[in-house]
Copies of this chain bind each other. A is one copy, B any other.
Amino acid sequence: MTRIVNNPDFVVEDMLKGFIKANKHLVTATENSRVIKYINAPVEGKVGIVTGGGSGHKPAFIGYIGKNMCDAVAVGEIFSSPTANAFLDAISAASSGKGVACLYGNYAGDNMNVNMAIRKAKALGIEVKTVVANDDCASAGKSEREKRRGVAGEVLMWKIGGAKASQGADLDEVIKAAQKAIDNTRSVGIGTAPCTIPAVGHPNFTIEAGMMEVGIGHHGEPGIAVESLKKADEIAKKITDIILPDLPFNSGDEVVVLLSGLGATPVMEQYIVYNKVDSILREKGINIYKAYVGNYFTSLEMMGITLTVMKLDDELKELIDIPVESVGLTQFGK
């Protein structure tokens, strides 16, 4: 293991300190050391946007705190859910009295802790509603979407929810937009090499050299097939064949494509896959309105990529173009 850390048991603490110092124009600490908030949170008159999840997925989750994106984030250990208390304190930090939208991924620990936090928030007079991301096509069948995990599509859910809240929408409108975003989004990942949690010291799953795992999860959850590593163009074909029929995406649709590396796969290779994904979609008459390619949602130094496609309507198109300023995603308008 070739890790640049101090005490492997305190990587999250050390990382958070550095993150807050480096990004003090955007984020600030709170009384709960596992909750980071936007410097202007709670934003007066705006629905609060909260998320949270395990560490090791940079820039997710804390990198999406900022203007017109997330107001507060609950931070877990590496690949582990934040506590209910961290979610509660994030909710409080984001609450300006207009309600809080908690937009998070479908994992057992997160579900349990968010629900506990919501009950406590209610006792404090804070109304919280949720959207649970389940964009990962590979984690359950089409008829069991409620079992699917949330993966990189969460970035688009936060973008849309954050943009809607920035327009002064009420809690129900924010939830409706974020839910529509994730309902219109499908993702799938390909893993080519595992990662190592510093405190564990060895990979907690294996991908043999020369093989790839189709549908792998962000924590090494088993995918749907282990096969020999294919060429980039064949991988692009394979992952679009999984994603496109699932929604389905049809000729004439306008979409956003987000192609993320899992950590150690060079961005060069991500663009090589994107090149073919773009061609495949265009051949099918699907129009790519906007593309994001880069390390938007990683798993330490895992190798591989994830592909995410979101179908747009007029509202989502307007919201995806709203300016945003965060460590993980900063964009001017259209």
Residues of A within 8 A of B (CB): 2-6, 11, 14-19, 21-23, 25, 55-56, 58-59, 190, 192-193, 209-210, 229, 231-233, 235, 257, 259, 263-276, 278, 288, 290-295, 298, 300-301, 303-305, 323, 325, 327, 330-332, 334
Q: A4-B272, A58-B268, A325-B332 are in contact. List 15 more A-B contacts (CB 8 A).
A: A4-B235, A6-B232, A6-B233, A14-B275, A15-B275, A16-B271, A18-B271, A18-B293, A19-B293, A21-B278, A22-B278, A22-B291, A59-B294, A264-B264, A267-B295
Q: How many Å lie between the Cα of A264 and that of B269 in the bound state?
A: 13
Looking at A4, A15, A21, A303, which has the most chain B CB atoms within 10 Å of its CB?
A4
Q: How many Å lie between the Cα of A330 and that of B294 in the bound state?
A: 14
- Contact partner of A14 (CB less than 8 A), chosen from B232, B293, B330, is B232
A-B contact pairs, 5 of them (CB 8 A): A2-B192, A4-B190, A4-B265, A25-B334, A325-B332
Chain B proximity of A80: nearest CB distance (Å)? 14
- Contact partner of A266 (CB less than 8 A), chosen from B266, B298, B304, B305, is B298
Given A268-B56, A293-B22, A298-B267, verify A275-B330 contact (CB < 8 Å): no
Asked whether, in the complex, the Cβ of A15 is within 8 Å of the Cβ of B298, the reply is no
Asked whether, in the complex, the Cβ of A274 is within 8 Å of the Cβ of B4, the reply is no
Residues from chain B with a CB closer than 8 A to the CB of A59 are 267, 294
Asked whether, in the complex, the Cβ of B330 is within 8 Å of the Cβ of A4, the reply is no
Asked whether, in the complex, the Cβ of A267 is within 8 Å of the Cβ of B58, the reply is yes
Asked whether, in the complex, the Cβ of B274 is within 8 Å of the Cβ of A18, the reply is yes
Asked whether, in the complex, the Cβ of A21 is within 8 Å of the Cβ of B275, the reply is yes
Asked whether, in the complex, the Cβ of A268 is within 8 Å of the Cβ of B11, the reply is yes
Chain B proximity of A288: nearest CB distance (Å)? 8
Asked whether, in the complex, the Cβ of A229 is within 8 Å of the Cβ of B264, the reply is no
Residues from chain B with a CB closer than 8 A to the CB of A292 are 22
Asked whether, in the complex, the Cβ of A305 is within 8 Å of the Cβ of B275, the reply is no
Residues from chain B with a CB closer than 8 A to the CB of A231 are 5-6
Given A11-B268, A209-B2, verify A275-B18 contact (CB < 8 Å): yes
Residues from chain B with a CB closer than 8 A to the CB of A304 are 4
Chain B proximity of A24: nearest CB distance (Å)? 8
Query: Which residue of B has the minimal Cβ distance to A334?
Result: B25
Looking at A3, A231, A268, A300, which has the most chain B CB atoms within 10 Å of its CB?
A268
Given A267-B59, A271-B15, A295-B295, verify A2-B300 contact (CB < 8 Å): no
Chain B proximity of A230: nearest CB distance (Å)? 9
Q: How many Å lie between the Cα of A19 and that of B305 in the bound state?
A: 16
Query: Which residue of B has the minimal Cβ distance to A273?
Result: B4
Query: Which residue of B has the minimal Cβ distance to A288?
Result: B21
Q: How many Å lie between the Cα of A270 and that of B15 in the bound state?
A: 8
7 tightest CB-CB pairs across the interface, nearest first? A18-B275, A18-B271, A264-B264, A58-B267, A18-B274, A22-B291, A4-B269
Chain B proximity of A123: nearest CB distance (Å)? 35
Residues from chain B with a CB closer than 8 A to the CB of A11 are 268-269, 272
- Contact partner of A56 (CB less than 8 A), chosen from B193, B266, B303, B305, is B266
Asked whether, in the complex, the Cβ of A193 is within 8 Å of the Cβ of B18, the reply is no
Residues from chain B with a CB closer than 8 A to the CB of A17 are 271, 275
Query: Which residue of B has the minimal Cβ distance to A330?
Result: B330
